[in-house]
Structure 1
Amino acid sequence: MNSDTRPLPQFAHAPLLLLIIAFLMMQPLSTDLYLASLPTLSSDFKVPLSTVQLTLSLFVIGFGSAQLVIGPLSDRYGRRPVLLWGLALYAVGSVLCGLAPSIELLILARFLQAVGCCSAVMIARAIVRDAYDPVHSVKVIARASTWLSLAPLLAPILGSYLQVAFGWRAAFAVHTLLSVSLLLLTFLRLPETNLHKNPGATNFAGLSHSFRLVLGSREFWAYALPGALSYGSIFAFISGASIVLIQVLHVPTAYFGYCFAIGVSGYLSGTLVCRRLLSRLGATATFRIGSAISLGAGTLFLAAVLAGFAHWSVMVAAMFLTLSAHGINFPIGQSGAVSPFPRQAGTAAGLMGALSMLVAFIVGSIVGATHNGTLYPLGLVVCALGLSIFAATRLLAPAEAAA
């Protein structure tokens, strides 16, 4: 293992990087595996697409709000017990999703899934801060993100075939198998990494102090806000791609996964570029480059739409560029938002995640509400987010970095 991604000596016996990658993969697998099924859910349950999109929006709300609780809980009681309970909840939610007889129960079960998924993703970020040298944590996140990119790359393809062969319930059977496997692996192999438990992390005074400390830090916002906006830019495609590609651009359901995977391969490319740029230029310069790519991707997408290019290749190219930028921006945003807070790592990771989910919820709601059978609303949303990411990295940069 590269020395930059080797855990501290007391954790060298555990497969931490493998577990971190698996935990982070749960979020894209929870959304991307059933994207090809969204149009079918609408017809099966005889509800409009805006109702079906609540299975994504409520997932985002559950994921985001839970981080405000799970972060402090893991700071007080440790990462391991909170994670075990979260994985168990995810498994229960997955079973309920697969058996749901109505869209209402499916939406509720997705909320439960989200809370469980949140524990895995948020605690994975906190483990990076616990178990690795802070100087190397951004490289750990970047390396994990490279492997993480395989999930959104392969999940839509698998999901498309599952939908065609078995129907929408098959995706949630896969979720169940995944969570039960990770629950067993966590129980057997994950040590407790929080060596500085904070008994006051969950009382009002402790929460208030931690929240003020993190939210009052310019450095937190300098990384968390661009990172959250970057997540919002990819969520625009997560929430809108299947509807636009299948219903507007008439891509067959069986081929949707390939289109989505080509676009998502940009994320893999972005994480590889991120790792190389970090070694050569450092985090600040790399962040500025990633945000410039976000702006370029959004601008080119909107320009192509305004020029009348209504073709699946336009969507795929826009996704590729946007996710390439996200592969650069998000690892830096995650690490930079958490690294300054060794004793509030869970809280900082939770706030970063909650902010990302808030932006994603807003973006998803706008995409669903403005869909009019064309590419124009999606083009406008992605362009506006690219501009916001570009501006945030420059206006919020710490004074020494901006100088």
Structure 2
Amino acid sequence: MPPALVVLTLALLLGIQPVTTDLYLPALPALTTGFGAPVAQAQLTLTALLLAFGLSQLVLGPLSDRFGRRPVLLWGLAAYVLAAVGAALAPSMALLIGWRTLQGAAMGASVMAARAIVRDLYQPADGARVMSRALTGLGVIACLCAPIGGLVSDLAGWRVALLVPALFGAVALGLVAWRFDESLARRDPQALQPATLVRTWATVLRHPTFLAFCALTTASYALLFTFLAASSFVFIQVLGLTKTQYGLVMLWNSLSYIGGTFVCRYWLARHGVRRSVARGAVLTLSGGLLMAGLAFAGIHSTAAIVGPLTLMMLGHGVHQPCGQSGAVGPFPQAAGAASALNGFVMMLAVFGVGGWLGTHLDGTVLPLTYGMGFWSVCVALLAWTVVQKHG
């Protein structure tokens, strides 16, 4: 496949995650009110999706090592489109959570396969650069998600906002069916045997490079998820922004992330993976401490959150490409399983974060600001210690 087609395919496969999580965020307060549901139950539409996303990868990763990336992608994307339509038509909050859970499980095929495809086609150092380009595409998609979600929700209601991901999934499915060639050179016929699975998972989980980069991506995504899960309530209900204004905040968030992916490629060419990660941690920690410090000082405003957030998203644009490619780098023959374990650990962590936020959102900015401050410290410690030693 031409390199441009590979990057485009990866961008769509990875971009399905912000389309699924970010696009409906402006509609989340209206959705909650429409069903007369408590905030904690509304949070389950996101956290249950992400838990299913993480768990499904444990199955889908070995399946892709056994049968190839293409069939897993085709079935997964088809199920995703079906689940998105079901979520848009759900008559109750319970059924909405159920459809969103299925949507998350199907989304696992797309994101897991994208990470594995990078390892199928590239060595780790080149893979980080390709992943950075694909994540730039993800950032562009994420830029559009919240503004489109806010606009669609305002003009047509939250149900239509939930239907938009089905259209995106159909486009990704069409591209994979039409142009994607199988990337796995040699299938593993024993990948699904229980003994082989246990050995593979044990090998991956014992590898210090995997553990270092998996921890980095987990802490970095937990930081982002803290913002995603709490931001609509904080900006709309606490700080009084309209849905359109909130969409612009999310747009800026995505633009900052895109900027981080460009910084990542610039640093990778000059400093390598370890030093790039260490530099990115300076941005992350500076933003986290500034945000938490302003909140502690009683400065509760949009600018006091968005300014430090910019620094953290620049760092996030460095840590995710390096971390995701680094986690699967040591496992060319088991990239699906390694990608799956990385994704599972990330989603297990954010499920815990979502559960905590669901019970601690208290009508102030503090759960968001203190939570992001905490995770920024975790990212910096990991980037400056275990990644430097084992990365």
TM-score (norm: length of structure 1): 0.94
Residue 59 of structure 1: aligned partner:
49
Equivalent residue for 2:278, pick from 288, 308, 312: 288
Q: Deviations over 1:247-270 (max 9, x none)?
A: 000101222101221123210111
Equivalent residue for 2:366, pick from 364, 376, 396: 376
Equivalent residue for 2:16, pick from 26, 34, 58: 26
Partners of 1:264 and 1:190 in 2: how far apart?
27
**Post-superposition offset of 1:186:** 1.0
Q: Deviations over 1:54-99 (max 9, x none)?
A: 0000111110101111111100111011110000100110110111
Residue 241 of structure 1: aligned partner:
231
The 8 Å contact of residues 231 and 356 in structure 1, kept in 2 or not, is answered as yes
Partners of 1:68 and 1:160 in 2: how far apart?
34
Equivalent residue for 2:168, pick from 148, 170, 178: 178
**Post-superposition offset of 1:361:** 1.2
Matched, 1:84 2:79: no
Equivalent residue for 1:352, pick from 309, 322, 342: 342
**Post-superposition offset of 1:172:** 2.4
Q: Deviations over 1:322-365 (max 9, x none)?
A: 21111011100001000110001001111111111112111222
**Post-superposition offset of 1:13:** 8.4
Correspondence list, 1:324-403, <5 A? 324-397=314-387, 399=389
Residue 124 of structure 1: aligned partner:
114
Q: Deviations over 1:127-165 (max 9, x none)?
A: 111122433111000111112101221110010000100
**Post-superposition offset of 1:383:** 1.1
Distance verdict in 2 for CA 1:400–1:321, change over 3 Å: closer
**Post-superposition offset of 1:196:** 1.7
Q: Deviations over 1:268-310 (max 9, x none)?
A: 1111101100001000000111122221111110000011111
Distance verdict in 2 for CA 1:400–1:46, change over 3 Å: closer
Amino acid at match of 1:273: V
Distance verdict in 2 for CA 1:13–1:331, change over 3 Å: closer
Q: Deviations over 1:167-191 (max 9, x none)?
A: 0111222111111222122111111
Amino acid at match of 2:352: I
Partners of 2:149 and 2:4 in 1: how far apart?
32
Sequence identity, in percent? 37
The 8 Å contact of residues 274 and 388 in structure 2, kept in 1 or not, is answered as no
Partners of 2:127 and 2:3 in 1: how far apart?
18
Amino acid at match of 1:240: A
Residue 90 of structure 2: aligned partner:
100
Partners of 2:190 and 2:33 in 1: how far apart?
50
Partners of 1:368 and 1:164 in 2: how far apart?
25
Matched, 1:45 2:28: no
**Post-superposition offset of 1:399:** 3.8
Moved more, 386-395 or 111-120: 386-395
Partners of 1:194 and 1:141 in 2: how far apart?
17
Partners of 1:147 and 1:381 in 2: how far apart?
28
Partners of 2:15 and 2:272 in 1: how far apart?
26
Amino acid at match of 2:11: I
Distance verdict in 2 for CA 1:217–1:186, change over 3 Å: same
**Post-superposition offset of 1:239:** 0.2
Distance verdict in 2 for CA 1:348–1:374, change over 3 Å: same
Partners of 2:306 and 2:128 in 1: how far apart?
28
Residue 7 of structure 1: aligned partner:
none
Matched, 1:323 2:313: yes
Residue 5 of structure 1: aligned partner:
none
Partners of 2:358 and 2:278 in 1: how far apart?
30
Equivalent residue for 2:130, pick from 108, 126, 140: 140
Amino acid at match of 1:181: V
The 8 Å contact of residues 288 and 309 in structure 2, kept in 1 or not, is answered as no
Equivalent residue for 2:195, pick from 199, 202, 205: 205
Runs of 5+ unmatched residues, structure 1: 1-10
Moved more, 324-333 or 252-261: 252-261
Matched, 1:190 2:215: no
Distance verdict in 2 for CA 1:398–1:284, change over 3 Å: closer
Q: Does the residue aligned with 1:95 lie in a helix, a strand or coil? A: helix
Partners of 1:305 and 1:14 in 2: how far apart?
44
Partners of 2:171 and 2:301 in 1: how far apart?
40
Moved more, 392-401 or 173-182: 392-401
Q: Deviations over 1:80-132 (max 9, x none)?
A: 11110000100110110111110111100001111111101110111111122
Amino acid at match of 2:232: S
Moved more, 126-135 or 224-233: 126-135
The 8 Å contact of residues 264 and 319 in structure 1, kept in 2 or not, is answered as no
Residue 75 of structure 1: aligned partner:
65
Moved more, 262-271 or 20-29: 262-271
Q: Does the residue aligned with 1:195 lie in a helix, a strand or coil? A: coil
Q: Does the residue aligned with 2:387 lie in a helix, a strand or coil? A: coil
Matched, 1:110 2:100: yes
Amino acid at match of 1:115: A
The 8 Å contact of residues 219 and 398 in structure 1, kept in 2 or not, is answered as no
TM-score (norm: length of structure 2): 0.97
Partners of 2:308 and 2:387 in 1: how far apart?
27
